[in-house]
Chain A
């Protein structure tokens, strides 16, 4: 194992270390970074980039320590190295850009003092005399691609636009011009402020990334051509993008004011400094020749001089163990349902997966609450890590999930994500692994939920499948694109026949030793979205006065239930995954208005008193409940209307309201379900 260290401990050095760790991994070398050297606060993207390489190195056998930026070594770094107490056979190397012999001698001596043995010192001034950027902390070396590049149907052009370039707002419309060129997709990489500027301009449809949003290597794997604008090369990450792209046969166009890239001797093409001339320049001779130019650049002596292989030769790491060549497995379709309030997303994905003809290559990755249900349906399921109050920071679980997704998914696999918000783990994995990805995105967002980030991330999915709501006014188009597909409601349809319903009621009577006349099922969840203990207590109290009534509070097997709901006469808590069947056995239900439970009530004609649950991450349950109630297909009671709830329950129990609603439901013409259509869309692959 290689340990990467840096001369000074700051954000820039940390960034340089894990960039190098990633590059080394491409060549089969396993490198780690001491987690004790991680800065206390890391920007979000850096956390994801660094985490695969962070380790508690006291548990690891370090064979080789490589220190970068050896031209300046702080006392903190030296103390850290001293405290590592490396084993006697550990090798140590240091690389730096030393101005003179004395600096090199000093670096070697300082390291030798704390290591207790001599390190090898390599001067980048000799190894890499014409670097892309100077001074730089990272060695800035080009590396081959980690994954084989996916064939893109259109040439991917990335414009690197520092904020100075965007100060001239008159160039913004030209981004659209470029994006609309035949056979070309235009992307922009810029600073955060520039991103906001473009997103609020007429070129808002242009896909924009922040400089630090993704690994430079990921950008390089996505791009065919990178065009650099502005006064200079905007930092080490973009320099790294240029290097990797050229090494991998892509093309770099230097449109900087100073010709900064060309000056280094890099095999780049000089382009127009005015972005308005770029379209014509590209169409003239670049696009038709880009592959030939790229291939020539990849073999250019400058690239060889600035490639990671050069460093590997100089340092001669111990050859990595040949990894067992895994038998290539068939590409798989992996479903990743989130677990909002209940298990709706998982249930929906399972319904779709079961409709797929190639279901043997289908697997799941899901949060622990969903795993038993998915496994009970016969699917393999990798558990993800649930959010927890015990995690040190918000989003820690998503970092771990990012690692798990990375290990599970390979190029060629298809990821089907079902959730309202595309997690960073999902977003990054799709781009880094160049996955074919599909988003099952139910609608009915609450106002404010359709902010830029959630929908902006739609662009990484090849298809977006939008399952419809039962009522037309609930179907809102949030985005318009030829990759958004609308299908009918995805709903579990296992309607009980009268005979089976009666059998089930008889079994319940036996099981609960209750000769009930009325069976009521409450489906208000385990309190994840909102605490409904008060409503359930009120119901229990009401049903206590009705000995001819059996009230079942049905929750998922792992739900947390308040002890205040225990011990009520005529009420029982039932932990079950068969809520749909129990609902159909009931005379009526009291339910939240999640997509699945609502649609199951509609399709199975179960009278319901709906109590919408509204949390920041739920859909707009109130609109859904109101749409049915306005059609006399249900009753809606808001969470604060406890007295109304009691009146409605009485009306359902003692009056004929439940039967009237059931009659209306049976007469309702419902849209064709979309489960099969969704399965077909997934199996069909990328959009044509």
Chain B
């Protein structure tokens, strides 16, 4: 396994000659599609871009994720489904996990450089695979003819899992792949809201309803205690039966409350997942920071956001919130610093990343 190092930025005038092909499973819902949609908007003006859709066995139907569809429409790009062959200077395959329920990627891909952007962690906490990584990478390896095949992690935590996998189960194929040295981060373009001047102990969490997104009930009790002024659990579809046991929780199913309204009702975003699963990036945390909230999470998830996210054990959440509530200035200061940190995930930052990290890989062609 090699490491792809930073190169000098290329000259803008010649970028439009570079052919870039995006390969996506466009039916992916949630953060992945949102991230890819924003990425397309950032990349399309720079290069000669085509977008290809693969109908994998992971999804049924033909519904393209709305944000992706909107981006394609806005950019005047057409989505080409299941082509037998793709040829481009640079091929970017987003989220190899979409291949997990099949044994073959039935496309012949010829590229100068192939980037496989790993939206899902390769390993779960504890070291068990998140999906059949071996099968997915093998399928890509067999389908692609390229000078270099590069795995591109999307965050610090995600990178750790990729590295661990290559040093363990993936050691057999490590020589076939390089790992990009910088993170292929999610673009987070959210409107920034000022922090409240009078924070109260109003807590909430927002996620899709999957079991992996929730910690143990004991941890939830620590995070959302009866002593809090209010606790909103949005997306807690699998906890609706717990309403009697936890009358101090206001439980809403996923999309049962407008996100803006949710953020108006809270001052602290307290976000913990199952200890056996981690967010690979954590867009929802970035969204909460942008909304002007103090965000609290576990150490692994917080790692992707530097000190912008307060990393704590669930038992310590209440005492830290109490300190913020008693010191509104520190609350506002923390939020402003965190929002400053978000700038590194902006579209313009991505353009710089793309031009400095991705394009130069095939400088000889320019």
Contact = CB atoms under 8 A, between A and B. Distances in A.
Interface of A: 75, 78-79, 82-83, 85, 100-102, 105-106, 108-110, 112-118
Nearest to B276: A112
B56 to A, nearest CB: 12
Contact of B238 (A79, A85, A106, A109): A79
Given A100-B132, A105-B131, A112 B274 contact: yes
A116 B100 contact: no
Nearest to B277: A113
A79 B217 CA distance: 11
B59 interface: no
Contacts of A114: 211, 274
Contacts of A118: 126, 128, 276
Interface string B199-226: 0000000000011101111100000000
A114 B241 CA distance: 16
B211 A82 contact: yes
B241 A116 contact: no
A101 B275 CA distance: 23
A110 B213 CA distance: 11
A596 to B, nearest CB: 55
Residue among A83, A101, A108, A113 with the highest chain B CB neighbour number at 10 A: A113
Interface in B74-124: 100-101, 103, 124
Given A82-B217, A102-B101, A109 B135 contact: no
Contact of A113 (B129, B132, B211, B218): B211
Contacts of A82: 211, 216-217, 238
A116 B277 contact: no
Interface string B276-299: 110000000000000000000000
B100 A112 contact: no
Given A105-B132, A112-B128, A85 B212 contact: no
Contacts of B276: 109, 112-113, 115-118
Given A109-B212, A113-B276, A116-B276, A102 B128 contact: no
Given A101-B134, A113-B276, 9 more contacts: A75-B211, A82-B217, A82-B238, A100-B132, A102-B135, A105-B128, A113-B274, A115-B276, A118-B126
Interface of B: 100-101, 103, 124, 126, 128-132, 134-135, 210-212, 214-218, 238, 241-242, 274-277
Given A100-B132, A105-B131, A109-B130, A116 B211 contact: no
Contacts of A78: 211, 238
Nearest to B130: A109
Contacts of B128: 105, 108-109, 112, 118
22 contacts: A79-B211, A79-B238, A79-B241, A82-B216, A82-B217, A85-B218, A100-B101, A100-B103, A101-B135, A102-B100, A102-B132, A105-B128, A105-B131, A109-B124, A113-B210, A113-B276, A114-B211, A114-B274, A117-B275, A118-B126, A118-B128, A118-B276
Contacts of B274: 112-114, 116
A85 B217 contact: yes
Contacts of B216: 82, 85, 116
A498 to B, nearest CB: 74
Nearest to B127: A118
Nearest to B245: A83
B132 A109 contact: no
Which 3 A-B pairs give the minimum distances between C-beta atoms? Answer: A112-B276, A102-B132, A113-B212
Contacts of B218: 85
A339 B145 CA distance: 86
A105 B276 CA distance: 13
Contacts of B241: 79
A108 B126 CA distance: 13
B124 A102 contact: no
A83 B238 CA distance: 11
Contacts of B103: 100
Nearest to A75: B238
A101 B126 CA distance: 18
Contacts of A105: 128-132
A118 B130 CA distance: 12
Given A118-B126, A118-B276, A110 B211 contact: yes
A241 B123 CA distance: 43
A101 B103 CA distance: 11
A102 B130 CA distance: 9
B210 to A, nearest CB: 8
Contacts of B214: 113
Contacts of B100: 102
A115 B214 CA distance: 11
Nearest to B134: A101
Contacts of B124: 109, 112
Contacts of B238: 75, 78-79, 82
Contact of B217 (A83, A106, A115): A83
Contacts of A102: 100-101, 131-132, 135
A383 B130 CA distance: 56
A494 to B, nearest CB: 63
A82 B219 CA distance: 12
Contact of A109 (B215, B275, B277): B277
A105 B101 CA distance: 11
B219 to A, nearest CB: 9
B134 to A, nearest CB: 8
A680 to B, nearest CB: 63
Nearest to B238: A79
A37 to B, nearest CB: 14
Nearest to A85: B217
B164 to A, nearest CB: 16
Contacts of A85: 216-218
A112 B125 CA distance: 10
A585 B214 CA distance: 80
